[in-house]
Amino acid sequence: MGNYTATAFAHPNIAFIKYWGDIDPDLHIPANGSISMNLRELFSRTSVSFDPALEHDQFTLDGRPIDKTGLERVRSLLKKVRRMAGIELFATVESHNNFPMGTGIASSASGFAALSLAASKAAGLNLDEKALSCLARSGSGSACRSIPSGFVEWQAGGNDEESYAFSIAPPEHWDLVDCIALVSQDEKPISSSEGHYMAKTSLLQPARVADAPRRLFLCRQAIHAHDFDALAEVVELDSNLMHAVMITSTPPLLYWQPATVTIMQEVESWRKDGLMVCYTVDAGPNVHVLCSREVSGEVTDRLQKLSGVQKVLVAHPGGPANFENGYSNT
């Protein structure tokens, strides 16, 4: 076994076709497949050291010690790694995000992807991309999509071995831009884990899930053909279907704020006027506005002028989870 220490980084991703609802909540086996794009400018950087002197696992996020749920989720991933590597050492985990917490950008995807790569390497394992994706999924479902490069599909799979993500196109395939309009930087009141659990209480979830293969097909096709109009149509439909499920769950879950709706309406009207732009919204009030690179400056300016928009972050298609020196297992 090597020197027990490794550092890795990974990007968060934005889902074009969303994961919402599990068939196995412990393993995060999703009710439907999903497709996303990694976000190059944003990343988590995570160092893991297995240390014979430690009596329990320790976890700091942006320099602050994390306990309870956060530590439990990290600990259960470390447990898996220990089991796979046949070691019994505890670890120190230090994670940093280059995007501030509370910006509504899910740090769990990039965080668990970077943790999977760093922890498995530090434990002496050389996992391939599929095994890393499965490991990351066990920490946070969408983290499995932050392991491969660029535009990524997570096949639902139905079991632990077959539920993993793979690249469907490299980052340079299409110079799409995600202009993220932040309307709130508050911690979300209901976590996505709770939301996944509630999805089955919505009458609309079976219809959303049944139609997912068609939307996945349309999205894949739009990406391969660089067809922005087709992408816009299926991405907005998919986001609205997920929020329809959320709103009709018991208890109802409404992540949108008035500014969220304003941005969605503006984006619609900009597209009608010929601008290549569309929206998608995750489990929060902030709006991811996708557009082509040529119009991203114009889109950012327009978003910044809308009332309720606090800040706009801009991200391009990103690469895979990786080690600091650029070496990749894949």
Binding interface with ligand PMV (CB under 6 A): 15, 18-19, 34, 106, 108, 140-142, 192-193, 196, 282-283
Give which of 18, 29, 38, 6 is closest to 315, Cα–Cα.
Answer: 38
Complex with ligand PMV: residue 6 or 199, whichever CB lies closer:
199
Q: Phi, psi at residue 227, to the nearest 5°?
A: -95, 95
Tokens read off for 261: 């709706």
What is the rounded distance in angstroms from the CA atom of residue 98 to the CA atom of residue 44?
Answer: 7
The residue among 37 and 263 lying less far from ligand PMV, judged by its C-beta, is: 37
Beta bridge pairs of residue 153 = 35, 166
Q: Which is nearer to ligand PMV, 277 or 283 (CB)?
A: 283
Q: Quote the least distance from Cβ 68 to ligand PMV, whole Å.
A: 17
Report in angstroms how near the CB of residue 168 gets to ligand PMV at its nearest. 15
Sole residue written with tokens 């008035």: 258
Min dist. Cβ of residue 120 to ligand PMV (A): 19
By CB neighbour count within 10 A (0-12 exposed, 13-18 middle, 19+ buried), where does 96 fall?
A: middle
Half-sphere exposure of 58 (CA within 13 A, CB side): 13
Spatial neighbors of 225 by CB under 8 A, at least 6 apart, are none
Cβ nearer to ligand PMV, comparing 193 with 201: 193
What is the closest distance, in whole angstroms, from the C-beta atom of residue 275 to ligand PMV in the complex? 25
Q: Phi/psi at 307 (nearest 5 deg)?
A: -70, 140
**Considering beta carbons, is residue 93 or 242 the nearer one to ligand PMV?**
242
- The angle at the Cα of 243, spanning 236 to 165, to the nearest 5 degrees, equals 70
Q: For ligand PMV, which is the closer residue by CB, 13 or 58?
A: 13
Which ranges of 252-311 does DSSP label H, i.e. alpha helix? Answer: 258-272, 296-305
Whichever of 197 and 323 has its CB closer to ligand PMV, that residue is 197
Our CB check for ligand PMV shows the closer of 30 and 320 to be: 30
Give the Cβ contact number of residue 325 at 10 Å. Answer: 7
Q: Is the peptide bond before 213 cis (omega within 30 degrees of 0)?
A: no
Query: Minimum Å distance from CB 145 to ligand PMV?
Result: 7
Smallest gap from residue 300 Cβ to ligand PMV (A): 22
β-pairing, 90-97 vs 44-51, is antiparallel
Closest distance to ligand PMV from the beta carbon of 53 (Å): 33
Q: Tell me the two tokens of residue 155.
A: 């096949």
Q: Give me the least distance between CB of 110 and ligand PMV, in Å please.
A: 11
